[in-house]
Amino acid sequence: MSVCNFTRSGLRSATRAARMELKAPARSMSLLSQRTPRSAAPQRRAAPAAVRSMQTLDFAGSPEKVYERVDWPLEKLQDYFKNDTFALLGYGSQGHGQGLNLRDNGMNVIVGVRKDGESWRQAVGDGWVPGKNLFTVEEAATKGTILMNLLSDAAQTATWPELKKYVTKGKTLYFSHGFSIVYKDQTNVIPPSDVDVILCAPKGSGRTVRTLFKEGRGINSSVAVFQDVSGQALERAIAMGIAIGSGYLYETTFQKEVYSDLYGERGCLMGGIQGMFKAQYDVLRANGHSPSEAFNETCEEALESLYPLVAQNGMDYMYKACSTTARRGALDWAPEFEKACRPVFERLYKSVKDGEETRRALGFGNRPTYREDYDKETDAIADQEMWRVGHVVRSLRPHRSQE
């Protein structure tokens, strides 16, 4: 496509500027850069000019509550959780990111995983010490006051009969996904009635939770309360959201979180993107375009040039950064794609809502060979011509040659 004030160089300049803005530190303090050891006395810091517990913002005519990191400076977090032990059950993507962020923020956090398994070895590699802050799931659940159930969805179902006896009165049960609670008819995860049950769901992978925290930015997350026994469940969920590395949080429910999450990752976030990229690439190749041209016009330009502009300033900004010819075509064809995709998205949402997606996920996740089976499917994607071409294209990026 012809872009950016008639030249690609102009768009590249705009993209670089957008990336520089994206990389700029958030105005909120970096919990990582300003952390203090748990044993150290908290430093006195000037109070922010305006202290608030939340804001109500207008999202296109709908008022919503938003909670920000500025409301929970590090010393406040450390004091709030000074009597708590975070028992991180599971050390997958979210467990890794949230656990390391909690540790860097000076929280008393321990990890519980299967002894000598792969997650145990990874935790040791990240500096968790067996017998000090690395235990079996059962030991960690016994010691913890806040039980962070970050096992996989299938593992939560399998381990609940044993784990539930450690969820005792006065403890807090924490999730980062509404899956097990909402689909209880399939998972049999039913918490006791005398504990707070809360959720903080980062809107990204655990790797992103970690990298954004280290950059001082913070991921956005949702928070929800399923059961409030203490009368402070929401406050605790918000504080935990900030402690694990969130920059800001918005309220939802367990049900809405899992519906939107399962729907989104199967749609625009992952499944839909792969399907649309593949279809466009294959049509270009079938019409005689070279692999490099097909990949650049399908994936590389989207990911490296246009999507960053959308991320920074919105779709309208990206349209205006492109040539009038590109803009006209995009405006004309967007409704066609919307019309074609709408029935697929409606069918997808129904599949999430009626539990079909959950049944498929649990059935697959409970296979003894599920890891190997997943690898076969993702390896098949990696072996598609489009993504094999992508390896070569990415190696040509100028910054790669300087690494």
**Known binding positions for substrate:** 323
CA distances (Å), 382 to each of 63, 272, 390, 396, in order? 43, 17, 10, 19
Taking alpha carbons only, the member of 358, 374, 356 closest to residue 188 is 358
d(CA 363, CA 359): 6
C-alpha distances (whole Å) from 43 to each of 40, 51, 71, 213, 247 are 9, 18, 17, 21, 22
Contact 150, 92 (CB under 8 A): yes
Please answer whether residues 28 and 69 qualify as being in contact, where contact means their C-beta atoms are separated by less than 8 angstroms: yes
| Tokens standing for residue 11 | 């768009």
User: 3-class DSSP state for residue 175?
Assistant: strand
Binding site membership for Mg(2+): which residues? 261, 265, 297, 301
Number of H helices, E strands in the chain: 21, 10
Q: Phi first, then psi: what are they for 38, rounded to 5°?
A: -60, -35
Three-state secondary structure call for residue 117: coil
Please tell me the distance from the alpha carbon of residue 322 to that of residue 331, in angstroms, as a whole number: 12
> Is 177 annotated as catalytic?
yes
Give how far Cα 171 sits from Cα of 87, 90, 298, 347, Å: 11, 18, 50, 39
- For residues 16 and 401, what is the distance between their CA atoms, to the nearest angstrom? 18
Considering 177, 289, 391, 399, which one is annotated as catalytic?
177
**Alpha helix stretches (DSSP H) within 164-298:** 179-182, 184-187, 206-214, 233-243, 254-266, 271-286, 291-295
In whole angstroms, what is the distance from residue 260 CA to residue 219 CA?
Answer: 17
Alpha-carbon distance of 265 to 48, in angstroms, equals 37
Give catalytic residue positions: 177
